[in-house]
Each structure stands twice: as C-alpha cells, then as structure tokens.
Amino acid sequence: MRTLGTMILAFQSQGPAGDAAVTAPSSTDIVSLLKDASLLSWAVLVILLLFSVLSWGIISHKRSQFRRAEKQTAAFLDIFRKSSRFSEVHSVCGTLVASPLVGLFHMGYAELNTQLRAAGEVKPGSAVPRPTLRSLESLDRALLRATAVEVSRLEARIGFLATTASITPYIGLFGTVVGIMASFQGIGETGSTSLAVVAPGIAEALVATAAGLFAAIPAVYFYNDLTYKVKGFAAAMDDFSMEFLNIAERNFS
C-alpha cells in the first residue's frame, strides 16, 4: 500500500506533463503483452498452462468414468436384486466392470466360494452337509478390502486437482511480483513514472495472476464435485456390503 501511494503521488506531481503522458498511446492488449513478455513471464505462463491442461484432462476423464460407473451401478443393482443366485449375477459382471460394486461382488463371491468349498469337504461315505459359511467376519473383511481398492481407483488423479488449486495462485503471484519488480526497475532507469511507462509492465505482471486463477478456480470446483461423487460411491458400496452380508448370512448360516 505504501508503494501504491508513492506511485499515486508521483503521478499527481507530474502536472501537465504527466497528463500529456497519460494520453500518449500505449499498447496494453493481451496479445501485445504476451509478445513483449520476458522469458521468466513466459516460463510462468507455460507452467500454469500445463497445470490447466492436465487438470481439464483429469476432469474430463473422471467425469466420463463416473458417468459410466453410475449407469452400470444402477444396472448391476437391478440384476443383483432380481437374481436368485450369486452365480447368475457373476455371469453378467463382465459387462459391468465400470461399476465399483462389481469389484465388491467379485471379492465377496470368491471369499464365499472358498469358505463353502472348505465346509463342503467330507470323508467318503459321510453324508453331504448343507453348505455353511464358516466366518461372517472373514467375508466382511474381504468386502472392506474390496471397498478400499475401489475407492482408491475412483480417487486416482483427483488429488492433482487439489494440488493445482493450491499451487497455481502462488505461481501466478510469483510471476506478478517479479513483473512488478521489473516495472519499478524500468521506472528507475527511465526516471519517468507516467502511465505510458508503468502500465504495460504492471499489466504484463498481472497476466500471471489471472492465469493462476484461471487454472485454480475450475480445479477447486471440480475437486469438490468429484470428491462428493466418490463419497456417494463409497456410501453405495457400504450399503451393498451390508446387503451382501445379510443375504450370505440368511442362506449359508
């Protein structure tokens, strides 16, 4: 604020000469600013552009992935609740691999089959016992492991959006600070504080801040949006695990 006040006083002290300088033509459009930008300013802008491009790529990929997952999850639940046997559900899982519930079902089905096969082993001449679930806790642990795997798969690359949202404003601010320092250095070399001299340098410096915000704002929004969707999938997986355990307990206990 002290520096800004000093600049304002300098502008006011110029009198008619300062007014004439203000009316002097100057090129401050974005294209001209970028064309005349320093190497450091270009480096900052390229870094911010890379962050922005990668963020939008992740956003596009994750939204497409989540749309497929939502659609196939609804289809899987419809089949699961209408089928009378787990084997029938297992036969259609290959067409619904985008749903995280399919991963849970595969893990639970494998654990269930392992326990039932172990319980069904009998000696020759003995009566064949009814298939019985040995440990409901083991089945629950298998479903929890599968839930952790599926949540990690859904969260993959979303963390980069949080990184982009937190770091790009600072990168842009760094470019702005360096640009303003260069502008003050130019003022010292020319001995003039007119807007025609100062404005292009400051405008060039502020482009970096604008670029940082341009990269950060969408990243913040979509990070929160995608994280909310992951929480919704996690809740659906918890519900499915309870439903799977209830069916297993009713039929094999």
Domain residues of the chain, as ranges?
Answer: 28-121+130-252
pLDDT of res. 71? 97
For residue 212, the Cα-to-chain-centroid distance in whole angstroms is: 17
Average pLDDT on 144-156 reads 96
- Taking alpha carbons only, the member of 146, 151, 140, 150 closest to residue 246 is 140
Cα–Cα distance between 212 and 45 in angstroms, integer? 8
Structure-token match 């400051």, residue found: 202
**Which of the four pLDDT bands, split at 50, 70 and 90, describes residue 11?**
very low
Which DSSP letter does residue 36 get?
A: T
**Which of the four pLDDT bands, split at 50, 70 and 90, describes residue 37?**
low
Q: Is the pLDDT of residue 130 over 50?
A: yes
Count Cβ atoms below 10 Å from residue 187 Cβ, excluding itself. Answer: 17
209-243 pLDDT tens trace: 999 999 999 999 999 999 999 999 999 999 999 99
Output the CA torsion 122→124→127→128 (10° steps). Answer: 40
**Which of the four pLDDT bands, split at 50, 70 and 90, describes residue 125?**
very low
Identity of the amino acid at 245: L
Cβ burial 151-183 (10 Å sphere, 16+ → b, else e): beebeeebebbeebbebbbebbbbbbebbbebb
Q: Average model confidence (pLDDT) for the chain? A: 82
153-187 pLDDT tens trace: 999 999 999 999 999 999 999 988 888 887 777 77
Cα–Cα distance between 253 and 247 in angstroms, integer? 10
